[in-house]
Structure 1
Amino acid sequence: MLQQLLQNSPLGPEEITRLSTAYKQALRTIGVQDRNDPLTELIARKIIEIGQTGLKDPVKICVRAIEELRLSNGQL
C-alpha cells in the first residue's frame, strides 16, 4: 500500500526506504498480516504524513504513527 501511495511522490530513495521501514515495522507491531486490510492504507498515509514533518528515524516514525492512530496496546 505504501508503495502505491508513493509512486508519484517527489521523495528520494532514502526517504522512501525510511518510510517503507517504518510502515513494515508498524504493521508487524500491531499484527496486521493481510495487506488488503483497510487499516494498511490508514497506516501508510499516517507514516507518510509523519515522514513529511522531518522526522528521520523509522522507529520513531512507526511509534508516532501507532500512537496517533491510537493502535497501541501499551507495549511500544
Structure 2
Amino acid sequence: MSKADISPLDRSLARICELCPLCRHARRSQQGIAYSIVKNVEMSLCPFCRAYERVHGRKAHERAEGRPPRSST
C-alpha cells in the first residue's frame, strides 16, 4: 500500500497501536508473553495492529529500525 492510499482513519487506528501498552512492550522486549500474544493475534483480531502495518510497513510486534533491544535488568 502506497503512502497515498493510507487514510486518516488508518493513521488514527495505527496511533492507538503505537500507544497500546501490550504492543509497545512487545516491540521493545521482543520476547515473553506480550510478544507472543501480539505476534499471534495482530492480523486476525486487532484492527489497530492491521492499521499499524499499513501505515508503518512492518508488523506491530517488530522493532523499529535503529532501536536497540530493551535490557531485561
TM-score w.r.t. structure 1 length? 0.30
Q: Report the structure number with the largest CA radius of gyration.
A: 2
Q: Taking structure 2 as the reference length, what is the TM-score of the superposition?
A: 0.31
